[in-house]
């Protein structure tokens, strides 16, 4: 498919507002996509890689602006582009206004420079760009991007710029792609849903729906080595759980970081909650798998930091291990981690997502032989089946006394629903509620802290018509230099524009924020402000899972 035809379709979709019209337009696009269907199904959502693949392009706004400026000629600089984006708020509009394409030099000439771009070529180039690593990779990335922009029509530049910066925002979410797949290829929605849950790949599912129909979709299964979205929990109480299910499975809630452990019998992979491959950062988990797993499996769990007696240490300690790329052995000496497993999604070739939780737990116990790991505490936590409040409370007291965060209450009959924050898993923590908010701005520090970003503007997610992020407070105090350095490293690539000391940031990093109370505020458009917001932790979750403004309003009303 030609890239300009794809961009024309995006322009049409962008002009629509009713969900049904959007789905119909995306279905038409899918029907016309031919061999490029998998790529089109991803691009339309602003993705280059399948949802299970945590690879990123790693193109920050500055690099993109510099590439655009080069393609626009000597009279335009990266700073000019940045200024225009700050004025208009949309890199796509700015890219479309520039007079691109007549530039020569490195990257400008390819054999087919004069011919039209295709979706396949854009995909190939972006993948090659993502694979660029090592010394000088920034400038090689810029060259590639310049090469692409230099061949773009204005509309192509608009959508390419948005795609590389993760700001596609044409109104096509995962739900529209799912429905468009169902409609375009006349397959049952349940079959599409199943296929998406096990594969996490909208491109693959669209192609299988078209080429192999319902049978093909039902035939898709989990694959060891390909991560699944984690099932999520809601806050809840023991009373609620007992009312809903009669018998409640109670487990300790561990204060660590979520992992998904894949073991093929020979090889181990460990994925984070965001499906990033963290195998190398956590060698203990691989060693555990080789030592203690009886069969190939996909298991869900948590890594926790433990002291020498196996007692839990605070969550922050795990984070120090989690993202580590270098000096893993040294980090391991400083903080050791232990594995806790609470679910079994797949064992010996059999998918268990549709099997009730109590049975999955029994399978988990059969898969894990943790006799050798006693020193580190129990790997598979004890599951209490409770049908009265007292039994739940006894488990809860014991969990809190032994230094854990709280308890999880699970419906023993429930299936595993990847990516869903359903009512079948409830979490109960005694602490005051914290909020997961997205960092949307910051200020450069002063004096000793001049090289650090600080004073973080944190925003809640806004759903519906005004979709986006609304600031609700500024987190400024009580952050250690080490954390500031970490935050600065993560936030710098997200800088979209600067004015004086203040920077605007692409909404990407999520912080867990504590506060004293929620006030109504004239200062913020959101109408809500957190009193004494403080940083509790950096969260490893995507901004789409941050707390919403609606939730904050509920909390302020005491709900």
Ligand X SMILES: Nc1ncnc2c1ncn2[C@@H]1O[C@H](COP(=O)(O)OP(=O)(O)OP(=O)(O)O)[C@@H](O)[C@H]1O
Q: Is 536 helix (H, G, I), strand (E, B) or coil?
A: strand
Q: Residue 435 — φ and ψ, nearest 5°?
A: -120, 145
Q: How far apart are CA 401 and CA 428, in angstroms?
A: 15
Separation between Cα atoms, residue 233 and residue 245, nearest integer Å: 16
Cβ atoms 252, 384 nearer than 8 A: no
Nearer to ligand X, 61 or 301 (CB): 301
Task: Write down the least CB distance from residue 322 to ligand X, Å.
Answer: 12
Residue 351 touches ligand X, criterion: CB under 6 A: no
Region near ligand X per CB under 6 A, out of 113-121, 123-131, 181-189, 252-260? 252-260
* Alpha carbons within 13 A on the beta-carbon side of 362: 7
Whose Cβ is closer to ligand X: residue 382's or residue 525's? Answer: 382
258 is in an annotated binding site: yes
Q: Is 258 a residue that touches ligand X (CB under 6 A)?
A: yes
- Fill in the DSSP letter of residue 538: E
CB of 304 to ligand X, least distance (A): 9
512 is in an annotated binding site: no
Does position 427 interact with ligand X (CB under 6 A)? The reply is yes
Integer Cα distance of 52 and 229 in angstroms: 8
Q: Which residues pair with 434 in a beta bridge?
A: none
SS3 31: helix
Looking at the Cβ atoms of 251 and 396, the one nearer to ligand X is 251
Q: Is 322 annotated as contributing to ligand binding?
A: no
- Report the Cα–Cα distance between both ends of the chain, in Å, rounded: 51
Cα 86 off chain centre by: 26
For the question of residue 429 being annotated catalytic, the response is no
The least distance separating ligand X from the CB of residue 300, rounded to whole angstroms, comes to 7
- Contacting ligand X (CB under 6 A), which of 84, 253, 363, 461? 253
Distance of closest approach, residue 254 Cβ to ligand X, in angstroms: 4
Q: Does 302 bind ligand X (CB under 6 A)?
A: yes
In angstroms, what is the minimal distance from the CB of 426 to ligand X? 9
If one asks whether residue 179 binds ligand X (CB under 6 A), the answer comes out as no
Beta bridge partners of 302: 258, 340
Segment lying near ligand X (by CB under 6 A), choices 160-168, 248-256, 305-313, 365-373: 248-256
Binding mask 307-346 for ligand X (x = CB under 6 A): -----------------------------------x----
Q: Which of residues 158 and 428 has its CB atom nearest to ligand X in the complex? A: 428
Rg (CA), the chain: 25
The secondary structure of residue 277, as a DSSP letter, is B
Whole-Å CA distances, 263 to 236, 347, 380, 489 = 33, 9, 16, 33
Q: Is there a binding annotation on residue 273?
A: yes
Q: Which of residues 200-239 bind ligand X (CB under 6 A)?
A: 230, 232-233
d(CA 369, CA 358): 18
251: contact with ligand X by CB under 6 A:
yes
Q: Is 408 in the site for ligand X (CB under 6 A)?
A: yes
342 is in an annotated binding site: yes
- Beta-carbon contacts of 57 under 8 Å, excluding residues fewer than 6 positions away, are 48, 126, 129, 130, 164
Positions annotated as catalytic residues are: 253
Chain residues in the site for ligand X (CB under 6 A): 230, 232-233, 251, 253-254, 258, 302, 342, 381, 408, 427
């Amino acid at each position: 498919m030609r890239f300009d035809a794809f961009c024309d379709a995006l322009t049409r979709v962008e002009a629509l507002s009713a969900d049904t019209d959007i789905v119909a337009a995306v279905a038409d696009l899918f029907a016309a996509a031919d061999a490029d269907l998998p790529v089109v199904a991803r691009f339309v959502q602003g993705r280059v890689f399948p949802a299970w693949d945590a690879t990123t392009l790693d193109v920050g706004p500055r690099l993109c602006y510099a590439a655009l400026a080069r393609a626009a000629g000597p009279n335009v600089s990266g700073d000019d582009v940045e200024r225009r984006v700050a004025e208009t708020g949309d890199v796509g509009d700015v890219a479309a206004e520039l007079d691109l394409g007549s530039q020569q030099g490195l990257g400008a000439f390819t054999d087919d420079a004069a011919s039209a771009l295709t979706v396949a070529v854009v995909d190939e180039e972006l993948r090659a760009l993502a694979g660029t690593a090592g010394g000088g990779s920034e400038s090689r990335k810029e060259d590639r991007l310049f090469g692409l922009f230099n061949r773009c029509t204005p509309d192509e530049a608009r959508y390419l710029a948005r795609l590389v910066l993760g700001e596609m925002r044409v109104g096509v979410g995962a739900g529209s792609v799912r429905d468009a797949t169902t409609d375009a290829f006349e397959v049952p929605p349940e079959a599409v849903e199943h296929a998406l849950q096990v594969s996490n790949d909208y491109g693959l599912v669209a192609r299988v729906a078209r080429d192999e129909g319902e049978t093909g979709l039902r035939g898709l299964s989990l694959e060891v080595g390909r991560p699944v979205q984690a099932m999520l929990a809601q806050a809840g109480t023991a009373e609620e759980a007992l009312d809903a299910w009669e018998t409640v499975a109670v487990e300790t809630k561990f204060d660590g970081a979520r992992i998904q452990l894949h073991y093929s019998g020979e090889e181990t992979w460990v994925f984070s909650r965001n499906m990033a491959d963290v195998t190398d950062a956590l060698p203990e988990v691989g060693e555990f798998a080789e030592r203690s797993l009886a069969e190939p499996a996909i298991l869900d769990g948590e890594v926790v930091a433990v002291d020498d007696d196996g007692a839990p240490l605070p969550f922050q300690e795990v984070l120090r291990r989690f993202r580590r790329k270098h000096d893993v052995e040294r980090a391991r000496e400083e903080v050791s981690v232990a594995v806790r497993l609470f679910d079994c999604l797949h064992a010996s070739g059999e998918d268990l997502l549709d099997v009730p939780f109590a049975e999955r737990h029994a399978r988990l116990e059969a898969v894990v032989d943790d006799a050798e790991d006693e020193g580190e505490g129990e790997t598979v936590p004890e599951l209490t089946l409770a049908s009265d409040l007292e039994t739940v409370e006894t488990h809860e007291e014991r969990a809190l006394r032994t230094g854990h965060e709280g308890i999880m209450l699970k419906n023993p009959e429930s299936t595993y629903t990847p990516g869903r924050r359903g009512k079948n898993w409830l979490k109960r923590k005694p602490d005051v509620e914290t909020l997961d908010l997205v960092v949307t701005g910051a200020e450069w520090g002063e004096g000793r802290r001049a090289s650090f970003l600080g004073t973080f503007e944190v925003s809640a997610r806004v759903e519906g018509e005004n979709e986006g992020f609304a600031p609700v407070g500024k987190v400024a105090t009580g952050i250690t230099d080490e954390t500031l350095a970490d935050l600065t490293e993560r936030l710098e690539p997200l800088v979209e524009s600067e004015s004086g000391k203040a920077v605007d940031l692409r909404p990407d990093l999520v912080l867990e924020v504590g506060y004293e109370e929620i006030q109504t505020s004239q200062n913020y458009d959101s109408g809500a402000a957190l009193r004494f917001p403080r940083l509790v932790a950096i969260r490893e979750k995507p901004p789409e899972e941050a707390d919403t403004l609606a939730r904050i309003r509920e909390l302020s009303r005491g709900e």
